[in-house]
Amino acid sequence: MKAILAIPVVVVIVLLDQITKLVAEATLAATPRPVFGDWFRFALVYNPGAAFGLHLGPYSRWLFMGLTAGALVILGRLYQQTEQHDFRRVLAIALVAAGAVGNVIDRIRSEYGVVDFLDIGFGVHRWPTFNIADIAVSSGAFLLALVLWQEERRELAAQAAAGEAATPSPTNSRDLAP
C-alpha cells in the first residue's frame, strides 16, 4: 500500500525536476527572464554546494553525494518503519527522497553542480535560486517534521494516560476513616 503512493511521487518529482532542469539549461542564458516582473523570474545558476550555496571547497560535490546517500538510507529505514496507512508520513518521505535523488543526479552528471533556475525576491533582495527538487525536499522535510512531532505528542499523551490509570488516585483522610 505504501508503495502505491511513494513510487509515483518519487518518479513524478524526479522526472519533473530533471526535465525542468534540462529545459532551463537549454533555454536560459546568463540574463534572468522575468515571469512576474522582478518578483519571480527564471535564472540559470549552477550550485556546486548545498542549500543556500553552502560550499565546502573542491570536495563539496563528493561530500554532498555521500551525505545524500546516507540520508537516503535513513529515509529508507523510516519508510520501512512506517505503517501502511500513514499517508502523510509516506508522502513526506517520498518527497524528501525524490528531491535528494533529483539533486544527486545533477551532482553525478555535472561537475558544475546542481542546476537551479527559480529566482524570487525584490530588487537586490533575492532568495537563493532553487529548483523543483529543492521544493520537494523542503516541503517533505517540513511535513515529516510535523508528522514526527504529532506522533511524539500522541505517544506522550498515551504514556500519560497509561500512567494515570496505573497510579492510584490520592485519597484524603476522610476517605480512610471507619
Task: List, in order, residues 6 or more apart from 28 with CB less than 8 Å away.
Answer: 42, 43, 44, 117
Distances (CA, A) of 65 to 2, 7, 94, 102, 133: 26, 22, 18, 12, 15
Beta bridge partners of 118: 42, 130
Query: Which entry of 17, 106, 116, 119 is annotated as an active-site residue?
Result: 116
Strand partners, 116: 45
> In the annotation, is 116 catalytic?
yes
Annotated active-site residue 134? The verdict is: yes
> Per the residue annotation, which of 17, 106, 119, 134 is the catalytic one?
134
What is the set of active-site residues? Answer: 116, 134
